């Protein structure tokens, strides 16, 4: 985190954040707003009204050509063949060991063209990894610089965005997307998100981002609030959405991360399949579970957990959940201690706090 702000990359909305009084910090090599009015108030506004996020730091990789589907099928765990044009899926990019290169969203733009949205810090690594598996009939491009991305999330998100387009946004189902005109700007509007709320993620040209951002706030005045990465983190944790670098990385397998639902065994061979299949048959030694802290106090990333006096794991994500009003987190526990209601202790600055495994997601929005 030692970079000076001048060395950090800036999104096309950087000057807008500065004008709006956003508190900017280093994040994954970018200068990004962590908060505007405060993490708790921004979190609550997304749960009850709507928040707007700058997620232009995310990476985009485009795969096209005759071998496009085969390549996506080879390097990811989900079944991209099941995607219709204009449909998206959550997936994992994996190493032969079944561990994460990254987690990502796969968008099927055309029969032989896919857009992958990847984590900011991983874009270059992901691009090289995917390219290393590509055949001569496939074109792989890191197009991150060609896109800005704005997320509008919360119960009021779609009513506000609907005022900006003639297209019926409710006709776009969850995890589907469309190219459409939004206030005269050409966007890909995807009904996806990282908050547990309904809403859209908007891919646009970098030069269109400031106009769209300002218009969404004008049209959504009283309903839509600028929201930083701090609230994005607490929101995603309440919804039990994992964060690369905290909850998953090159040392954790897809099965250990409790993400078997994005592994499609019947799609044919893919990188890491044999290791993951063996884990399915034999079971895993550890599993990512959700917990809540029973005692007063908050467990954070890096805090150690103990069961029967023995070290049992390390908290991967932990926070006070503003909407749920309790301290929650994620941790890898030994499989035999991973069941709901399992109690354990977390060492928070020398004090042992009692915690217990709970069902996840912690928060589920009312449909």
β-pair type (199-204, 185-190): antiparallel
What confidence score (pLDDT) does residue 2 get? 52
Q: Express each pLDDT in 11-66 by its tens digit.
A: 999 999 999 999 999 999 999 999 999 999 999 999 999 999 999 999 999 999 99
Residue (of 243, 270, 221, 268) closest to 77 by Cα position: 270
Name residues of the chain where pLDDT drops below 50. 1
What confidence score (pLDDT) does residue 367 get? 80
Taking the C-alpha atoms of residue 226 and residue 20, their distance in angstroms, rounded to an integer, is: 9
CA distances from 19 to 13, 24, 71, 76, 215 (A): 10, 11, 43, 40, 15
Cis preceding-peptide flag for 17 (omega within 30 of 0):
no
Count CB neighbours of 237 within 10 A: 26
329 contact partners, CB below 8 Å, separation of at least 6: 237, 290, 291, 292, 293, 299, 300, 315, 316, 317, 318, 319, 355
Q: Express each pLDDT in 151-180 by its tens digit.
A: 999 999 999 999 999 999 999 999 999 999
Taking the C-alpha atoms of residue 319 and residue 307, their distance in angstroms, rounded to an integer, is: 21
Distance of CA 135 to the CA centre of its chain: 29
Taking the C-alpha atoms of residue 272 and residue 253, their distance in angstroms, rounded to an integer, is: 9
Taking the C-alpha atoms of residue 314 and residue 259, their distance in angstroms, rounded to an integer, is: 19
Taking the C-alpha atoms of residue 154 and residue 46, their distance in angstroms, rounded to an integer, is: 5
What HEC string does 102-135 produce? EEEEEEEEECCEEEEEECHHHHHHHHHHHHHCCC
CB–CB of 312/344 below 8 Å?
A: yes
Sign of the Cα torsion 230, 234, 235, 236 reads positive
Domains in the chain, CATH or no CATH each = 5-55+147-238 (3.30.1360.120), 59-142 (3.30.70.1400), 285-358 (2.40.30.110)
| Token couple for 352 | 């042992």
What confidence score (pLDDT) does residue 1 get? 42
Residue (of 110, 118, 81) closest to 264 by Cα position: 81
What confidence score (pLDDT) does residue 6 get? 74
What confidence score (pLDDT) does residue 3 get? 60
| Token couple for 159 | 């009513």
What confidence score (pLDDT) does residue 165 get? 98
Taking the C-alpha atoms of residue 321 and residue 37, their distance in angstroms, rounded to an integer, is: 17
Taking the C-alpha atoms of residue 110 and residue 86, their distance in angstroms, rounded to an integer, is: 8
């Amino acid at each position: 985190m030692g970079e000076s702000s001048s060395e950090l990359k800036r999104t096309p909305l950087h000057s807008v954040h500065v004008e709006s009084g956003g508190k900017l910090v280093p994040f994954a090599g970018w200068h990004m707003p962590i908060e505007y009015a405060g993490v708790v108030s921004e979190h609550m506004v997304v749960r009850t009204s709507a928040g707007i996020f700058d997620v232009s730091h995310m990476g985009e990789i485009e795969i096209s050509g005759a071998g496009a589907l085969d390549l996506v099928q080879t390097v990811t765990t989900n079944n991209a063949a099941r995607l219709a044009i204009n449909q998206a899926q959550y997936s994992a990019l994996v190493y032969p060991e079944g561990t994460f290169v990254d987690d990502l969203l796969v968008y099927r733009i055309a029969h032989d063209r896919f857009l992958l949205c990847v984590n900011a810090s991983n874009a270059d690594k992901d691009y090289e990894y995917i390219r290393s598996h590509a055949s001569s009939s496939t074109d792989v491009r890191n197009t991150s610089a060609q896109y800005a991305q704005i997320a509008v999330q919360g119960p009021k998100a779609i009513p506000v965005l609907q005022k900006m387009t003639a297209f019926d946004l409710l006709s776009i189902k969850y995890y589907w997307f469309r190219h459409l005109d939004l206030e005269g700007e050409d966007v890909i509007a995807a009904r996806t998100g990282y908050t547990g709320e309904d809403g859209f993620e908007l891919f646009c040209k970098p030069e269109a981002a400031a106009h769209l951002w300002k218009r969404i706030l004008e049209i959504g005045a009283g309903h839509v609030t600028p929201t930083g990465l701090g609230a994005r983190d607490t929101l995603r944790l309440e919804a039990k959405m994992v964060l690369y670098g905290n909850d998953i990385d090159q040392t954790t397998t897809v099965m250990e991360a409790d993400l078997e639902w994005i592994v499609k065994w019947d799609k044919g061979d893919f990188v890491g399949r044999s290791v993951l299949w063996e884990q399915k048959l034999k079971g895993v030694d550890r599993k990512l579970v959700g917990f809540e802290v029973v005692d007063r106090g908050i467990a954070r990333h890096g805090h150690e957990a103990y069961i029967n006096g023995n070290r049992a794991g390390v908290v991967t994500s932990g926070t006070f959940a503003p909407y749920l009003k309790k301290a929650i987190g994620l941790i890898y526990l030994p499989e035999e201690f991973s069941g709901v209601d399992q109690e354990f202790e977390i060492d928070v600055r020398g004090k042992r706090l009692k915690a217990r495994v709970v069902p996840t997601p912690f928060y589920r929005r009312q449909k």
